[in-house]
Amino acid sequence: MPSTQASLSPGILSLLPMFYVAWSDGILSPTEMSMIHSKIHQYDFLTDDDRAYLISWTDPSRSPSKAIFAQWIREITRHGAQLPESDRHGLAQLGWEIATKISDGSNKQKWMSEATRSSLLEMEKILGVEHDDSSALILNRFRTDREHYQRDPASQIDTKALHEFLEGDGKVMRDRLRALLSDPSFSTEYRATKKEYRDWALEKCQVLADQGYGLLALPEYVGGQDNMTDYASVFELLAHYDGSLTIKFGVQFGLFALSILNLGTREQHEKYLHRAGTLALKGCFAMTETGHGSNVRGLETTATYDKESDSFIIHTPRRQAGKEYIGNALHGEAAVVFAQLIVAGESHGVHALYVDLVDADGNDLPGIQREDCGYKMGLNGVDNGRLYFDQVAVPRDQLLSRFGRVSDDGTYHSDIENPNKRFFVMLGTLVGGRICVASAGLAMAKNALHIATAYAHKRRQFGPSDDEPETLLIDYPSHQMRLIPRIAEAYGIGFALTDLSARYMDDAEKNKKIESLAAGLKARATWFATSTIQECREACGGAGYIWENGISQLKADSDIFTTFEGDNTVLIQLVAKGLLSDFSREFHDEGFRAVFRRLMQQANTSITEKNLLNVRKTDAAHLLDPVFHREALRFREKHLLHTVALRMRRYIKQKLSSTDAFLRCQNHMIALAHAYVDRVILKAYHKALETCPMEIQPTLRHCAEIYALDMISRHKDYYLEHGYMEGSKTKAVRRILRQRIQSLKGSSLALVEAWGIPHSCLQSELVQ
Amino acid sequence: MPSTQASLSPGILSLLPMFYVAWSDGILSPTEMSMIHSKIHQYDFLTDDDRAYLISWTDPSRSPSKAIFAQWIREITRHGAQLPESDRHGLAQLGWEIATKISDGSNKQKWMSEATRSSLLEMEKILGVEHDDSSALILNRFRTDREHYQRDPASQIDTKALHEFLEGDGKVMRDRLRALLSDPSFSTEYRATKKEYRDWALEKCQVLADQGYGLLALPEYVGGQDNMTDYASVFELLAHYDGSLTIKFGVQFGLFALSILNLGTREQHEKYLHRAGTLALKGCFAMTETGHGSNVRGLETTATYDKESDSFIIHTPRRQAGKEYIGNALHGEAAVVFAQLIVAGESHGVHALYVDLVDADGNDLPGIQREDCGYKMGLNGVDNGRLYFDQVAVPRDQLLSRFGRVSDDGTYHSDIENPNKRFFVMLGTLVGGRICVASAGLAMAKNALHIATAYAHKRRQFGPSDDEPETLLIDYPSHQMRLIPRIAEAYGIGFALTDLSARYMDDAEKNKKIESLAAGLKARATWFATSTIQECREACGGAGYIWENGISQLKADSDIFTTFEGDNTVLIQLVAKGLLSDFSREFHDEGFRAVFRRLMQQANTSITEKNLLNVRKTDAAHLLDPVFHREALRFREKHLLHTVALRMRRYIKQKLSSTDAFLRCQNHMIALAHAYVDRVILKAYHKALETCPMEIQPTLRHCAEIYALDMISRHKDYYLEHGYMEGSKTKAVRRILRQRIQSLKGSSLALVEAWGIPHSCLQSELVQ
């Protein structure tokens, strides 16, 4: 009977990692056993002694003793610890690397050969340890010791290169703002009363304006820089720092100034924009009403043209029609007010007007009534309030007239004849705001992930025994599951938003598709922020609840992001409607039914023929193949699209009103929109992989794999229900996902550090 | 070709609801068509004219015109609207009711017969409209008009009977406290600074103490009432009112006083408890340390017996060993301090000591250092702080000595010899606290559900067209999905907690099983609170974010519930460990492997034989059968238990340390614990159904169905992966769940009103 021996040969070591896992993980079947025997006899890289030793350990009735196990793991760790991280993808690879490394001159050639490596990979398959839970744990054990992450968290990946890739252009401006936010005058403290918090936010807004940040997005002819990209970067960076300041800044320089820019004429720009961009004129964006948030078309405030005084009379017909949640409502000196425009008794739909709220002395003008919304869950530095108008007269030239105006003779004119189309063009101004809110939500989620990941790398709780150190939180599989897939998803959402911004800035692309994408990513990024910050709070335990540790304020401030600038549930349905109408348009000519049959046939063929093997394919190469990921995500989206289209068409054909038909399909449509956004993010990930520098590619690929497998895994019920995968495959997906997550834990801290959030912005005692 | 006709006969009307849905929902196959034809000819309750009319509408190439459709729906609605709600379970039933009602004398008998009814039910199956989405929508349309819910939300169910059943015993005390909380002196306002909020909470705590609420749970010999049930009710009711006051109350009268009760001797009770129960003595419960929260056994504070002075020296050896997040830390005059007890150089593990913090003049004693934890996400009315001890001497008789004491000769004694066992007995005192926190979390979730449901019944947004009223939020299927399954789950968790409390109060039951159940339900109820309050905030849109609408404070205050009194992730693993050790114990004698094989065989048999039909059974009777629900939930739990047991055993046998083995199975174990809690809640639901008054049974059964189907649906990936259901069945589950949710929407407001939350406690402008 074999016993421990002084030193193990390359041949034995080449197979030892696999044997270790096979033994610790289960019992081999007789068939597998006989295959292993015959392979061991065939392998020319083994000596006879090697063969005897290895075969002795294939007898299921003779389990290795504790001492043998200890020797095995010691030997593997000893050699394995010296190998660079990237070389250890699996047990066979590990064994091969060790053997190659310790074999001497004459045998080295044989060991280095591809044939030898293939033989080992083949054995890995036979033993069934290819991507086993235990493999992951053991590989991991060789990789690092518990202290490692703490000592040198960033050693595994090129944090600097990754950070620079993420920064893209505009680094100079970003670094300048980072420096400002790290200035002692920007240090933060808890501000308990809304008064002190609001005063602070206004003061800091002025500091930003004085530095020129308010003019960034405005045209050069009003003193601006016409640089929307930099404006968006400022907004995003501010979100790392303070939610109230971010929103205050966005209301003034985004909603207020940019709505004048988008809806006003050149003369109006010249009249208002420089003052707006320097905060010499404080303004609000008064769209939402108490009774009408999402349904902007149903706003009730009226702007009735009065020919006699040549002015518009702004009026709030009932309390529910008051302007609600308006940021800057208390500090504001003017407002862009959205109202039903009525000219000569005829309504022309919602239009925006520039309305003064105060006279030259700063006193409220007659007919203006303001009300404080009071305290909120968060963002208490923003002076949200309600505005009511009692027959307030506004000169004719204050109608923002780019898309509709009243001429000298008192008649209404617009270059866009269709009122429907006009409405959507005017609302297009919201798209930029949605992209900004999405970025801000993601930024705040990143703060939380940074804090929670740093904490997980230093906080210990419970341990194997009294004389060993307690276990780091990040070493718990459940804790890895909480944080790492979210880090991967944050990267993906970031790439998708970068893509979207670039397309949005490109005027040629300003179309329905971009609006739909912005709606979808706004919903996704902000829901992601809400759930991620929540998870991070819990992952930090009691410490996460304390204000000075930074997470609680992120939660309170970002919570409303899922609602404002478009309620997520409404936006996600817009996305689905967009997809459906694209689909209908595409096939309008060919005849719906025919096309539909063809598509369903294709879908079914792809399951039954092409995927006949795929439905139960569980090897790692396939499961990690980006093509598999793309196809799986596309299948879910397309299948949902086709089935919802079929249902809608059937209902409509069967005389249901489109509202009723839509209500019947509502949950189905929401599922479709989510599937679409999932795929868009993966696409952006893959695009980033193509363009990123070589040195960060492996890391990003690893993250992309986790993102894709996580999405597949979350929707495995769908894949199983529709026969796209079998149970054996969804189980394999879960296993390999877990393994990929586990093997990223060492780099997880470097991944959050690469975001480059200034330390001062984290405002957390938990990050040191 | 048939056209609209003046008035439809009973025969036509009996089948019309089904025909309407069949036509609006899809196309019938030729086989189905021929079956319908032959049935129509057989049915003796149809006249020849009826037959001709109906058969003319089975030709798929001739779709009914818009006018015909309109007539059909008009006729069905006209007759259907007059029928009582309970009669309309399905389309066949609806048709039958209508026909029975309008048929005249001579035919009435035939219509009333069971044979006729069966024939119609048979047709419903043939047409495949049994529980179709469209059926639900159409049935619903007959049932109510949009205004209905608002006018008379509670008409459907017996709110009073339901409320009384939920109240159980102790109604007098509960109503007395409800009256107090509705007193103007208890009206709430936003308290911005922690100082004013903390002062308020302390003052209100004194009011409660003056009313005798602090003594409820204490023994009669110290002036108490020995009534733990009433104490728990007070805690739960307070949670409806204000989180800070609830926790302040719980720290003083629960943690502080009850730990003295549970860990101290009769003499110690007599010395401290009356003062504690009247708030004459303000105290804290100092267990958690900065470095050790969940791992209580690893606490570092020491209590070293000094024979010379006959006292214990309490000491904080390093900053991380300071007592952390301690409620009442700033107001407290004394503390129950948990420390490692060292006597004559030997450690006896964690023990609790009564420690004075102040001298007779109220000044801090030497060696005591306090630190304010500062602002938190919520609960800012609770003075959480840190306590550090620098060699503080405490007289020997202040060691709470029920389970361990130092005798006059300076030696340690305990009736529980095993230190492990002693530790768990002492920690048993936490179980009551966990039950209370679970109830408080549930109470706060109920507040949020009440507010959001009331809002959904009055808030409108978007609508079919400009001249119709906008649609109520509750009429959107997506909105129903957000709220209604959560209402059903809240009921279920409530029943489970009531059961648990009753068993906990029964001394005979104080065992490991109760501890495990308390851990599981604490985790479940508090996670439910966090996610439900979040969902309700979002479901109220911007209004949910405003403090005066009541949800934002619920979120901020309850958020920490998932962490304190035992971190949920740790607790849920305790549950799994308990299940595993029960399992091992149960089969210890018989030999694990043999038993295991038998069990797996049973499980497989139950899938392959008994369930061979069940895996694809999709009729409503089966899908709504409580036996199906119970078995499905049990399958998931047992299957997870058996597989995790197998894995653990294998790892242990293969020489892994139990810690490593456990880490490998961690996510698997967490899944098991959730499955167990899911089933426990269903069991409590079914038990409540057996004991509740007849008049509320249908409502509770409806809720139980939604709960069970929701749990099955959420885990359908598991059922599909393990072959317990086929895709056709999981789809049918989704459909019938949606239909059951839809048909509960009219009663949803009554269901939240039945909780009896005083209006003053909702503190929301959204509920009128």
Determine the topology of domain A432-762 in CATH: Butyryl-CoA Dehydrogenase, subunit A; domain 3 (1.20.140)
Please state the ipTM of this predicted complex.
0.82
Res A604: pLDDT? 61
Per-residue pLDDT at A38: 82
Q: The whole model's pTM is what? A: 0.83
Report domain extents, chain B. Answer: 10-142, 171-277, 283-423, 432-762
Tell me the per-residue pLDDT of A691-738, one tens digit each, with 9 for 90 and over.
999 999 999 999 999 999 999 999 999 999 998 999 999 999 999 999
CB–CB of A727 and B721 under 8 A?
Answer: yes
Q: Any idea which residue has 């059922």 for tokens? A: B719
Which band of pLDDT confidence, cut at 50, 70 and 90, is reported for residue A443? Answer: very high
Q: How far apart are CA A33 and CA A40, in angstroms?
A: 11
Helix/strand/coil percent split, chain A, to 5: 65, 10, 30
Cα dihedral sign, B477-B482-B487-B492: positive
In terms of phi and psi (left: phi > 0; alpha: psi -120 to 50; beta: otherwise), the region of A567 is: beta
What is the C-alpha separation between A756 and A639, in angstroms, rounded? 40
Q: Is the dihedral of CA A510, A513, A519, A523 positive or negative?
A: negative
Identity of the amino acid at A324: E
State the best of A27, A563, A674 to mutate against chain B, taking most chain B CBs within 10 Å: A563
pLDDT of amino acid A603: 60
Rounded (to 5) percent helix, strand, coil in chain B: 65, 10, 30
The rounded distance, in Å, linking the Cα atoms of B709 and B492 is 13
Lowest mean pLDDT among A12-26, A467-481, B378-392: A12-26
CA atoms of A330 and B471, how far apart (whole Å):
33
Torsion of CA A615, A619, A622, A624, to 10 degrees: 120
Spans of chain B below 50 pLDDT: 1-4, 86-88, 141-155
Tokens at A210, concatenated? 């004085």
Mean pLDDT rounded to a whole number for chain A: 88
Distance CA B506, CA B30 (A): 64
Q: How far is A356 from chain B (nearest CA, A)?
A: 26
Q: How far apart (Å, rounded) are the C-alpha atoms in residues B303 and B316? A: 9
Pairing of strands B311-315, B392-395: antiparallel
Beta-carbon contacts of residue A438 (< 8 Å; ≥ 6 apart): A493, A497, A518, A521, A522, A524, A525, A526
**What are the chain B neighbours of A545 within 8 Å (beta carbons)?**
376-378, 559-560, 563
A141 pLDDT above the threshold of 50: no
Q: By three-state DSSP, how is residue B465 classified?
A: coil
Pairwise CA distance, residues A134 & A111, whole Å: 26
**pLDDT score, position B142:** 46
CB contact under 8 A, B660 and A477: no
For residue B514, CA distances in Å to A140, B114, B163, B420, B429 come to 38, 49, 27, 19, 12
Asked if pLDDT for residue A81 goes beyond 80, the answer is: no
User: Do A529 and A444 contact (CB within 8 A), yes or no?
Assistant: yes
List chain A residues with CB under 8 Å of B530: 534
SS3 A310: coil
Report yes or no: A526 and A569 within 8 Å, Cβ to Cβ. Answer: no
Contact B541 A293 (CB under 8 A): yes
CA atoms within 13 A on the CB side of B374: 15
Are B453 and B748 within 8 A, CB to CB? yes
What is the average per-residue pLDDT within A362-383?
Answer: 97
Spell out which residues of chain A touch residue B477, defining contact as CB-CB under 8 Å: 663-664, 666-667
Model confidence at A33: pLDDT above 90? no
How many angstroms separate the CA atoms of A396 and A410, rounded? 9
Question: A666 near A573, Cβ under 8 Å?
Answer: yes
More confident residue, B36 or A402: A402
Contacts of residue B562 in chain A, CB cutoff 8 Å? 538
Cβ–Cβ below 8 Å for A461 and B192: no
Distance (Å, rounded) from C-alpha B18 to C-alpha B13?
10
The pLDDT of residue A525 is above 90: yes
Confidence band of A233 (pLDDT split at 50, 70, 90): very high
Q: Across residues A228-247, what is the average pLDDT? A: 96
Tokens 């320089």 belong to: A253
Determine contact, residues B547/B763, Cβ cutoff 8 Å. no
- Please, are residues B351 and B341 in contact by the beta-carbon 8 Å criterion? yes
Q: What is the pLDDT of residues A595-610, one digit of tens each?
A: 666 666 666 655 555 5
Other CB atoms within a 10 A radius of the CB of residue B606 amount to 17
Q: What is the DSSP letter of B304?
A: E
Nearest CB to B542 within list A26, A555, A563: A563
User: Choosing among B717, B722, B724, which should be mutated to test the A contact, i.e. which has the most A CBs within 10 A?
Assistant: B717
The rounded distance, in Å, linking the Cα atoms of A132 and A130 is 6
Whole-number mean pLDDT of chain B? 88
- Beta bridge partners, B264, equal none
The number of C-beta contacts closer than 8 angstroms across A and B is: 218
Closest CA to B456 of B703, B745, B744: B745
- For position B12, what pLDDT does the model report? 87
Chain B nearest C-alpha distance from A669 (Å)? 10
Task: Give the least confident one: A393-407, A491-505, B94-108, B748-762.
Answer: B94-108
Band of pLDDT at residue A659, cut at 50, 70 and 90? confident
Provide the token pair at B761: 């406690």
Could you count the other beta carbons within 10 Å of the beta carbon of residue A198?
Answer: 22
DSSP class per residue in A432-472: HHHHHHHHHHHHHHHHHHHHHHHHHTT-B---SSTTSPPPB
Cα of A690 to nearest chain B Cα, Å: 34
Nearest to A455 by CA among A539, A535, A530: A539
The CB density around residue A215, as the number of other CB atoms within 10 Å, is 24
Rounded Cα distance between A36 and A59, Å, is 11
CA distances from B529 to A309, B446, B590, B661 (A): 57, 8, 43, 32
The CATH code belonging to domain A283-429 is: 2.40.110.10
Name the band, by pLDDT with cuts 50, 70 and 90, for residue A100.
Answer: confident
Exposure string (b/e) for B721-754, b if CB count within 10 Å is 16 or more? Answer: bbebbbbebbebbbbbbbbbbbbbbbbbbbbbbb
Task: Give the Cα separation of A308 and A614 in Å (integer).
Answer: 75
Instruction: Convert A418-436 to b/e letters by CB count within 10 Å (16 or more is b).
Output: eeeebbebbbbbbbbbbbb
**Amino acid making up residue B607:** I
What's B171-277's CATH class?
Answer: mainly alpha
Q: Taking CB atoms and an 8 Å limit, are A563 and B546 in contact across chains?
A: no
The closest CB to that of B26, out of A133, A650, A731, belongs to: A650
Q: Is the CATH number of domain B283-423 1.20.1300.10?
A: no
pLDDT in tens, B423-439: 988 888 789 999 999 99
Burial B131-159 (b: 16+ CB within 10 A, else e): bbbbbbbbbbbbbbebeebeeebbebbbb
Q: In this prediction, what percent of chain A has a pLDDT beyond 70?
A: 87
Interface test with B, best of A19, A24, A62, A65 (most B CBs within 10 A): A24
Question: For testing the chain B interface, which of A141, A527, A545, A764 should be mutated: the one with the most B CBs within 10 Å?
Answer: A545
Higher per-residue pLDDT: A6 or B763: B763
Closest by Cβ to B542, choosing from A324, A553, A670? A324
Q: Which DSSP string corresponds to A640-652?
A: HHHHHHHHHHHHH
Query: How confident is the model at residue A3, as a pLDDT?
Result: 46
Q: What residue has token string 């209508």?
A: B98
pLDDT tens digit string along A192-216? 999 999 999 999 999 999 999 999 9
Contact B655 A69 (CB under 8 A): yes
Place of tokens 């049932």: B143
- Residues A353 and A337: beta-carbon distance below 8 Å: yes
**A715/A712 Cα distance (integer angstroms):** 5
CA distances to A589, B19, B58, B115 from B43, rounded to whole Å, are: 46, 16, 16, 10
B355 dihedral zone (left: phi>0; alpha: psi -120 to 50; beta): beta
- Sign for the CA dihedral angle at A355, A360, A363, A366 comes to negative
Segment A522-536 shows an average pLDDT of 98
Who among B24, B530, B547 is closest to A374 (CB)? B547
